[in-house]
Homo-oligomer: A and B are copies of this chain.
Amino acid sequence: MESPAYNFPDVNKILQAADRIKHHINKTPVLTSHSINAAFHCEIYFKCENFQKVGAFKARGATNAIFLLDNSSLVNGVATHSSGNHAQALSWAASLRKAKAFIVMPSNSSKVKVEAVKNYLGTITFCKPTLEAREATLAKVIAETGAIEIHPYNDLRIIAGQATAAKELIEEIPALDILMAPVGGGGLLSGTALSARYFSPKTRVIAAEPEQANDAFLSFTQKKFIPSVNPNTIADGLRTSLGTLTYPIILDNVHQIVTVSEKSIVMAMRFIWERMKILIEPSAAVPFAAILEKKVAVSKMKIGIILSGGNVDLDKLPWITKK
Contact = CB atoms under 8 A, between A and B. Distances in A.
A323 B323 contact: yes
A314 B274 contact: yes
B322 A320 contact: yes
A322 B279 CA distance: 21
A83 interface: no
A55 B277 contact: yes
A51 B277 contact: yes
Contacts of A321: 322
Contacts of A278: 277-279
A273 interface: yes
A50 interface: yes
Contacts of A55: 277
Interface residues of A, number: 24
Contact of A317 (B50, B310, B317): B317
Interface string A286-323: 00000000000000000000000010001101011111
A100 interface: no
A231 interface: no
Work out how many copies of this chain go into the complex: 2
A243 interface: no
A321 B280 CA distance: 22
A29 interface: yes
A53 B280 CA distance: 20
A273 B319 contact: no
A312 to B, nearest CB: 9
Contact of A277 (B50, B270, B315, B323): B50
Contacts of A314: 270, 273-274, 317, 319-320
Contacts of A53: 34
Find the residue from A50, A278, A319 having the highest chain B CB count within 10 A.
A278
B50 A310 contact: no
Interface in A270-285: 270, 273-274, 276-280
Nearest to A275: B55
A322 B280 CA distance: 23
A279 to B, nearest CB: 4
29 contacts: A29-B29, A31-B51, A34-B53, A50-B277, A51-B276, A51-B277, A55-B277, A270-B314, A273-B279, A273-B314, A274-B314, A277-B278, A277-B279, A277-B280, A277-B310, A278-B279, A279-B279, A314-B317, A314-B319, A314-B320, A315-B319, A315-B320, A317-B317, A317-B320, A320-B320, A320-B322, A322-B322, A322-B323, A323-B323
